[in-house]
Chain A
């Protein structure tokens, strides 16, 4: 069953701009993870935020988590062409399942 749901489904921005993607989920979680998938490849883990954390940074990535609203956001600052990919949120649930959303397709325009 689907847990995380990303918004928007697709996003096109100019190189250098910031990209924001959102994720909403339904049940209690232990953690929330963001992954990137380039076309024809597997998913690559970007960042994990625990349920007791509110914000986390990794390079140009910033993730926030609001457990009261059951939502998370991924911000990519100063976007680059290489950031073009699909981005997925995944919830680490208390029944030990990791459930993915449908993803956001991000396209960085030159």
Chain B
């Protein structure tokens, strides 16, 4: 049990589908993150939320739409994806956003997304 739970673990979707990834953290953390992990690439930071407010949007295409209804839940809504969007999507949380407070990231086990 990592304290950060992601569902579903696996998702296969067509390019015209709409789906959502869900992340829930049970750690009482204030910051939540979406990362994309593709083969042979570094983890790519997609979105950051601090106290339910989006503070980072790293030039992510609009076909990815995040939502943070409260500090424990984070969603990533997907629509009209491309095959190159196939990857492992990782959610993480940290106690606070500020790096200076030396708060490590706690990751979920990810959603393996395949776009056909």
Contacts and interface: CB of A to CB of B under 8 A. Distances in A.
Contact of B40 (A31, A44, A98, A102): A102
A104 to B, nearest CB: 12
B106 interface: yes
Interface stretch (B14-22, B68-76, B77-85, B94-102): B94-102
Interface centre among A33, A88, A92 (most CB of B within 10 A): A92
B114 interface: no
Given A48-B104, A98-B105, A42 B99 contact: no
Nearest to B91: A42
Interface residues of A, number: 27
Contacts of B102: 30-31, 48, 50, 92
Size bracket, chain B contacts: 20 to 34
A45 B99 contact: no
B108 A42 contact: yes
B41 A102 contact: yes
Interface of A: 2, 4, 30-31, 33, 35, 40-45, 48, 50, 88, 90, 92-94, 96-103
B110 A97 contact: no
Given A42-B109, A45-B104, A88-B43, A96 B98 contact: yes
Contacts of B92: 42-43
A102 B42 CA distance: 4
A94 B99 contact: yes
Nearest to A97: B45
Contacts of B104: 33, 45, 48
Interface string B40-54: 111101000000000
Contact of B110 (A42, A90, A99): A42
Contacts of A90: 105
B99 A96 contact: yes
Nearest to B10: A40
B57 to A, nearest CB: 13
A103 B102 CA distance: 21
B106 A45 contact: yes
